[in-house]
Structure 1
Amino acid sequence: MKLPVEITKKRKLETLVENKLTHTLESAEMHIFETHEKVKNFTLEFSHPLLVSMIEGRKIMNLGDMSPFDFVPGETLILPPNELMRVDFPDAALNRPTKCLAMTISEEMIRDTVVYLNEERAKVDNEWQFTDSNLYIPNDMAIQQIIQRMLFLFAEDHPSKDMFADFMLRELIIRVLQNEAKTNYTENAKELSGDSRLAYVINYIKENLSKQLTIKELSDQIHMSESNFHKVFKNELDISPIDFINNERIKLACDLLKDPNKQIKEVYAECGFNSLSYFIRVFKRKELISPGEYQLKVVAKKQWR
């Protein structure tokens, strides 16, 4: 993520810890923070729903219901109002500041978007609701691209910028809701499967990754047509069933490849891929390196420890 030159023109260094620059629109407020020295247990709190994303450097985040974790560029947090953040800056320096953004979003905009979704794109078994707990979103390219566009929009001198921002914020809220649904279904599929057809089918996928799963088989599990199943799945999770299956298979492959004695041909078969070349292609698209390179990397890392 890049900061537009225009957005930092008025920046003044007033403090070495979380030096703040603020830009405001009708439905959102963007704060750019820079920290120029190492510090521990710095606290921040906002009275509105908050999106936090790293720009440069690393923080260690301490949030109420989560274990402390490294927060780095490409990652996003959604926090409810009045969530206390305790932050450590282990790497910040005067010539290498840690930079992040925090964007508050109007609750009216969130409510209107949730109402729109429930009227026009309703869930199959329950209603859309914006998160009232902490949500961690790792490396979601679509969300990062919206944030980057919002940065340029905050810096732009355009008479219609508030209208443009409302469109982007609505898209951002919808993608956050879909990401939360995907996380919830994936992490709690077994527990939710009695009340949610999508949770049931996700649990079925996770328990049968080694098999040759088809859309017909999955749609039959929850008594839907193939076309309606695909539409419902994509609408709620922002991902196609096939891409979801491949993502789960690659997660499983990454776990299996931690074993230095596992051969690649064993791994792809155990993960349900029917072609070694297709497995390698999907793995490289997801992890940016080949399965063999990944295995060497994780094994070497374990030995180094």
Structure 2
Amino acid sequence: METMKALHPIRLSSERELKTSVENRRAYTMNNCELNVFETYKISQSVSLQFNDLVITNMLRGKKVMHLFNQPGFDYLPGETVIVPPKVQMLIDFPVASMEEPTQCTALAIDRQQIIRTIDYLNEHHPLEAKRQWSLDFDNYHFINNVALSASINRLIAIGTSDEVHKDVLVDLTLKELLIRVMQTQQLNNVLDNKHQLTNNRSGIGFVVEYIRSHLGEQFHIEDLCMKVGMSKSVFFRAFKRELGLSPVEFVLRERIRLAKKYLTGPNSSIKEACFATGFNSLNYFCRVFKKYEGITPGAYQMMS
């Protein structure tokens, strides 16, 4: 699991701008989307919210408990994204909101035709492997922001709340990037959780994913992976990043850290064993990479577990 990437803060509403203390709304309307900024200043429960368009929501401050699709509620925190289909009711609890520490989030409502145009363009000009189609996955609606996703969201919020003359053009370009980042993040999460048909593909990137997972404790080079799927290095990197939104090297490191966490929580485990059993050949490098992805050192993780 990668460390959460929090978004840049947005100014809070002034006292004279507040119309309500529960989900006070500021709206910024553009041609193909509407950016809403919601703030809540008191503890509340079962607040209902619904949009006619697909909504990408992002937490900026505080904490919510979200109830969606008649499922148990889940904590929604800064550094996380939730996507909600059109006309789906959200029920929201605010367990800790106050005037001193309000809850703040954005809700980006996107025009349906803009989404269709973006997905159609990707399927035509940048198709995925194994005749799969680009699409939004509403079974994977709550996830942690990675670096690329956070950067797209930050850009869109900055443009949407600005007085930029060419705001609509710039927002449309950023919207396309954001939709791609969301779909790549969903696909990567599904691959990491063994839920995606990509891992059943016995050629191309699917084969590489399975090979990497089966040989994490070994030393191998990117050139070896390219040879196994008959791709040049440049084609292989582009295909891998198009599918999952990250490079093969990043994927290998993520998978090694995931495996290392299992070693660290096992009986009589040691940091040294976790390091070398997962393909790292330097203890110092292992500790640096572990802290980058988990936010804490291997020793601290071991103690917490």
User: How far apart are residue 93 of structure 1 and its match?
Assistant: 1.5
Match of 2:46 in 1: 41
CA contact (8 A) 2:37 2:104 kept: yes
User: How far apart are residue 245 of structure 1 and its match?
Assistant: 1.0
1:266 and 2:273 matched: yes
CA contact (8 A) 1:25 1:162 kept: yes
CA contact (8 A) 2:43 2:95 kept: yes
1:81 and 2:86 matched: yes
User: How far apart are residue 259 of structure 1 and its match?
Assistant: 4.3
Match of 2:194 in 1: 188
Match of 2:21 in 1: 16
Match of 2:174 in 1: 168
1:192-249 Cα offsets, whole Å, 9 max, x none, are: 5434643343233223322224334434554544443322111211111111010111
Change (3 A) 1:259 1:185: closer
Q: What are the within-5 Å matches in structure 2 for residues 61-140 of structure 1?
A: 61-64=66-69, 67-125=72-130, 126-140=132-146
User: Which ranges in structure 2 are unaligned for 5 or more consecutive residues?
Assistant: 1-6
Match of 2:259 in 1: 252
CA contact (8 A) 2:218 2:279 kept: yes
User: How far apart are residue 115 of structure 1 and its match?
Assistant: 1.9
The 3-state SS of whatever aligns with 1:17 is: coil
CA contact (8 A) 2:58 2:79 kept: yes
Change (3 A) 1:98 1:183: same
Aligned length: 297
Code of the residue aligned with 1:68 in structure 2: it is: G
The 3-state SS of whatever aligns with 1:201 is: helix
CA contact (8 A) 1:59 1:90 kept: yes
The 3-state SS of whatever aligns with 1:78 is: strand
CA contact (8 A) 1:4 1:155 kept: no
CA contact (8 A) 2:190 2:196 kept: no
Match of 1:302 in 2: none
1:51-81 Cα offsets, whole Å, 9 max, x none, are: 0110100111222275432111111112221
User: How far apart are residue 3 of structure 1 and its match?
Assistant: 4.3
Code of the residue aligned with 2:81 in structure 1: it is: T
1:97-131 Cα offsets, whole Å, 9 max, x none, are: 11111111112221121122122222122221233
Q: TM-score, normalised by structure 1?
A: 0.87
The 3-state SS of whatever aligns with 1:239 is: coil
Q: Point out which structure has higher relative CO (alpha carbons under 8 A, 6+ apart).
A: 2
User: Pairwise CA RMSD of aligned residues?
Assistant: 2.5
Match of 1:281 in 2: 288
CA contact (8 A) 2:65 2:94 kept: yes
1:139-172 Cα offsets, whole Å, 9 max, x none, are: 3122222222222222222221111111111111
Q: Bigger CA drift: 61-70 or 43-52?
A: 61-70
CA contact (8 A) 1:21 1:31 kept: yes
CA contact (8 A) 1:186 1:199 kept: no
Percent of aligned positions that are identical: 37
Q: TM-score, normalised by structure 2?
A: 0.87
Q: Which runs of 4+ in 1 moved over 6 A?
A: none
Match of 1:142 in 2: 148
Change (3 A) 1:164 1:148: same
